[in-house]
Structure 1
């Protein structure tokens, strides 16, 4: 079994220790004295960010998917041409130096849209001070991906007058995080830890299946497997997979299916899950299931991300890999 000596040996900078405090970071961030904004007449929100910052846009897009606000998530250099005076553009760069997001910020400033930026400082803060753009500074904790709850809940707080999200749902999601932490944190390194169990099972290439509403959790899991565990991974919408991905299982290889299931998935989605599991059992393909908690979409997504992210840290350590360094990303950024 994994122990703290092994965690400290390979997780040199102690990323797992930050994850142990995610519930506290979330609560402190949401209850922080950040100044709220209240732009009127907004019917379109664009969330721009890359990597860990982009995952925040994915979550907020999912939260707003059943509201009357049109949402776009930009992971690149340009905002959509649909940006107008009723659009709020939210740019997030945890480092403050993300070239793609700075480009969106600069382009958006020259339109008639409303604009707000979030970062831990860097070039984004300098830009916003120079051009008097609405800006909020949020501390980076360890790394952009580890800072996820701090930025997510701070943004939920600051945009509270604009986002049609119930405060109770937000606070309940934090309470659920606290419950989840007791199961998956480094204080529970035993056979009942679901994140550790999943990490111990992964030996090949994960193929992550998800329902449409939980796509943000699947994408985040993929990203964290790549960054923390340095592992190739695939993701598939469970409905779309029945029209293409499923055929690939006719040939045996090192791919391992992981099923991310919502507590109250649509009835047809539940039927498809059962068909997929029957297919795997019939063909003797081992798989794992990860279920969301009950509650709002915020609770489902943030708690899934917590469980799945922590599994990638455990996987890194189990394979004698330091989860923190991302030398390949540094290479790309240096030459971009």
Structure 2
């Protein structure tokens, strides 16, 4: 692939398999089985919690992702709070961590340093330190893998799922050549999204994947993106894809589908395509690929990462820079 603006982001995307392999070697604390698990984070740090819920879909322990300054009122002693902040300085996560301390939750922190590491040392609770120097959204392997391993040690993620996760780096490496070809699916999708509004629809089980696509397109491509899950979409939004007609005609809808989707959800996808196709620019159907649930999830995640990179190229945007987020944080700190 020829070098272009964004080559640095390409290398960061390529680093995901190595991140997972490295993080699988981390020494982790032994924790007691919690009543519930709260994973607190924002942005690229929070998506690790969303994906964890998807991987642990058969868990009998409730897992809740908190994107806020405080925990729900029902959080209490016996629950586990995993605070995930790549920088360690995310104010919402710091606040939620302090809230967890005040409510006597079991605490675990994950960061590359910052205030969160200092608080973990102050409260004498476990802290998992991950490498510095990455944009948080490109450190998914470092942020996710420790949580997966902790939940495996607790028996919340089953042995088969964890075995599939261990094999994930090799699977991701096999996708790199596929997604970096001149005529790749990733480039095709990015071309469909260029100068249009991407809309990502998927099942509830795969909704964290759609959220990852949205965030990557927002941050890397500097483009607007909308997501919605099925079947909820059919109870409201399907009726709204009509007006204003000129705007709806700019929509390019992508359906992210999986072989394990509920039969009724599959049927809803088919009917929805027929009902909205005359109101939108067009649609794409993307089927997950892989021999197991873990690999199929990450096939879609990795595809979305590449799509966002190529869309940034089409818009001539630097996929690393996040000027508005940086300016927002600067003003908030004053």
- TM-score higher than 0.5: yes
Superposition deviation, residue 197 in structure 1: 1.9
Deviation string, structure 1 residues 69-104 (Cα, Å, up to 9, x no partner): 112211010011111222001100011110000001
Q: Which residue of 1 aligns with 2:273?
A: 277
Bigger mean CA deviation after superposition, 321-330 or 179-188: 179-188
Contact kept, 8 Å, 1:207 with 1:235, in 2: the verdict is yes
With over 3 angstroms needed to count, the CA separation of the structure-2 counterparts of 1:163 and 1:327, relative to structure 1, is farther
Q: Which residue of 2 aligns with 1:205?
A: 197
With over 3 angstroms needed to count, the CA separation of the structure-2 counterparts of 1:103 and 1:205, relative to structure 1, is same
- Mapped to 1, the partners of 2:331 and 2:324 lie a distance apart of 11
Q: Structure 2: give runs of 5+ residues left out of the alignment.
A: none
Contact kept, 8 Å, 1:90 with 1:116, in 2: the verdict is yes
2:6 counterpart of 1:11: yes
Q: Which residue of 2 aligns with 1:175?
A: 167
List aligned pairs for 1:1-336, cutoff 5 A.
Answer: 3-6=1-4, 10-11=5-6, 14-30=8-24, 32-40=25-33, 42-140=34-132, 142-173=134-165, 175-185=167-177, 188-191=180-183, 193-203=184-194, 204-250=196-242, 251=245, 252-281=248-277, 285-336=281-332
Contact kept, 8 Å, 2:120 with 2:127, in 1: the verdict is yes
Q: Structure 1: give runs of 5+ residues left out of the alignment.
A: none
Superposition deviation, residue 146 in structure 1: 0.4
Superposition deviation, residue 238 in structure 1: 2.7
With over 3 angstroms needed to count, the CA separation of the structure-2 counterparts of 1:182 and 1:67, relative to structure 1, is closer
Contact kept, 8 Å, 1:4 with 1:186, in 2: the verdict is no
Count of residue pairs the alignment pairs up: 327
Superposition deviation, residue 65 in structure 1: 3.6
Deviation string, structure 1 residues 129-152 (Cα, Å, up to 9, x no partner): 122122111114521000001221
TM-score of the superposition, structure 2-length normalised?
0.90
Contact kept, 8 Å, 2:60 with 2:156, in 1: the verdict is no
With over 3 angstroms needed to count, the CA separation of the structure-2 counterparts of 1:258 and 1:302, relative to structure 1, is same
With over 3 angstroms needed to count, the CA separation of the structure-2 counterparts of 1:189 and 1:226, relative to structure 1, is same
- Mapped to 2, the partners of 1:187 and 1:304 lie a distance apart of 11
What SS class does the counterpart of residue 107 from structure 2 fall into? strand
- Mapped to 1, the partners of 2:85 and 2:150 lie a distance apart of 16
What SS class does the counterpart of residue 4 from structure 1 fall into? coil
Bigger mean CA deviation after superposition, 65-74 or 220-229: 65-74
Contact kept, 8 Å, 1:34 with 1:158, in 2: the verdict is no
What SS class does the counterpart of residue 213 from structure 1 fall into? coil
- Mapped to 1, the partners of 2:307 and 2:133 lie a distance apart of 19
TM-score of the superposition, structure 1-length normalised?
0.90
